[in-house]
Amino acid sequence: MVQSSSVTLHLSAVCAMTYGYNALHSLSISSWINSQYGGHFQFLTIQGLAVAWMTMVVGLVEDFFPSIKGIRATKRALFIAAMPIATIVSSIYWTLLLAYPHLIMQAMPEDSAVIVGLPLRIDLALHAVPCLALLSDFMIFERRYGRKAITFTAPALTLVLTVWYAWWAEHCARKNGTFPYPFLTMNPIEIRCRIYAGVGTVACLSFYALNALHPKSRRIDGRRKGTMI
């Protein structure tokens, strides 16, 4: 039986994130970003958005076709990557945007004194919807992760994703001359390595914290939550 609340969450999240990404191309700075190596995918925000979008799409497919082999395992695997990324992106972005916008927002290429802000509707679609949708889905419709995911999968995946983005950001910067985020551009390699390591650590810890906060009282398929990956 299809759960209307689950379908509503997944469908609305997919639509909002799709709108946010497509709307980026209407901004004045978009053509300059697209002309750079890596384009919009230089940004952790966009990579996180892509994983969150895929997670919601797979969730929507599962809503209608739960008997598809492997669909639940696929969504659970995507969730381990998507939720920490979305959480860390939202936390860092909104904190810096409110306190130090020059550290997170790109400046116009022809005038570095002009910081390009996003319209609120696009901002929310990119930097709030992924996190809120994933957290809502996890807390309401998903079961918590078990010991194997906590002990092995989460830290191993976090390490791989951290190394990947660190390499990707450095690679794009060598091609473009600047990093996608100003706070990376203004710091030497030693500090950037600490930033990458710190962000990866906080992302992993956020996964642990959210998993620990997950309601434990519900049972799914007659098995206690937390006993499965």
- Is 104 part of a structural domain of the chain? yes
Domain count, the chain: 1
Longest dimension (CA), the chain: 61
pTM surpassing 0.85?
yes
Phi, psi of 184 (to 5 degrees): -85, -40
**Domain hosting residue 13, numbered range:** 4-224
The pLDDT profile of the chain, 229 residues, written as one tens digit per residue, is 567 899 999 999 999 999 999 999 988 888 889 999 999 999 999 999 999 999 999 999 999 999 999 999 999 999 999 999 999 999 999 999 999 998 998 876 665 556 778 899 999 999 999 999 999 999 999 999 999 999 999 999 999 999 999 999 999 999 999 999 999 999 999 999 999 999 999 999 999 999 999 987 444 443 444 434 5
- Is 151 part of a structural domain of the chain? yes
Q: How far is it, in rounded angstroms, from Cα 132 to Cα 13? A: 9
pLDDT of the residue at 113: 58
- Is 229 part of a structural domain of the chain? no
- Is 118 part of a structural domain of the chain? yes
- Is 75 part of a structural domain of the chain? yes
- Is 87 part of a structural domain of the chain? yes
- Is 167 part of a structural domain of the chain? yes
Q: How far is it, in rounded angstroms, from Cα 9 to Cα 57? A: 11
pLDDT of the residue at 111: 59
- Is 8 part of a structural domain of the chain? yes
pLDDT of the residue at 132: 97
Phi, psi of 220 (to 5 degrees): -125, 125
Quick one: tokens of 20? 């946010």
pLDDT of the residue at 116: 74
Phi, psi of 119 (to 5 degrees): -55, 145
pLDDT of the residue at 79: 95
Q: How far is it, in rounded angstroms, from Cα 49 to Cα 221? A: 31
**Can you point out the beta strands (E) in the chain?**
107-108, 111-115, 219-220, 223-224
User: Where do we find the tokens 């639509």?
Assistant: 15
Q: Cα torsion at 207, 56, 169, 198 (round to 10°)? A: -10
